[in-house]
Amino acid sequence: MAVLGLALAGCSMTPDVRERSELVTEPELCTPQRFDVYFRDSEAGLTDAARHAIAMTATQLQGCEIRKVDVIGLADARGGPTANLDLSERRALAVAEALEAAGWPSPVFGMVVAGESGSVTADGASEPMRRRTEVLVDAAPR
């Protein structure tokens, strides 16, 4: 037992040991951010998880200057090019409207619609992960 006490006492005297506050810092919240909002197959309505992701990000960046927001609507390869462009646009619009409702400034929004472009992998399989919108936020401290 005395050896353990001596070993532990020796640790506190080590000159290279720094305080936790020197090592662990709070991340800067007001920086450019990216998040995805996922949708059900062939739908543009926000799910509860999507609403939660949008609300969390909106709250996190509440005290920041939101300079620009790009919302990129995507779809998988099912449904055909025209239908997928329409679906991608409706998805992007749903996310942009939810962010505006959360208090983000509407003039900073840009929407891009990718449809199914690039949604088919090299082996010809459809990419289900394309059933989403990507949100790119240029945020900075006020």
> pLDDT tens-digit profile of 76-90?
877 788 888 899 999
Q: 110 — alpha (psi -120 to 50), left (phi > 0) or beta?
A: beta
Q: Average pLDDT, stretch 35-43?
A: 91
pLDDT at 12: 54
Supply the pLDDT for residue 87.
Answer: 92
Q: 79: Cβ–Cβ under 8 A, 6 or more apart, which residues? A: 42, 87, 116
Question: What pLDDT, in 10s, does the model give residues 67-120?
Answer: 999 999 988 877 788 888 899 999 999 999 999 998 888 778 888 887 766 544
Residue 57 vs residue 118, higher pLDDT = 57
- Topology of domain 27-141 in CATH is 60s Ribosomal Protein L30; Chain: A; (3.30.1330)
Mean pLDDT of 54-72: 91
Q: Over 70: is that where the pLDDT of 142 sits?
A: yes
Which tokens hold the place of 58?
Answer: 């909106």
Residue matched to tokens 């992007």: 92
Where are the chain's structural domains?
27-141
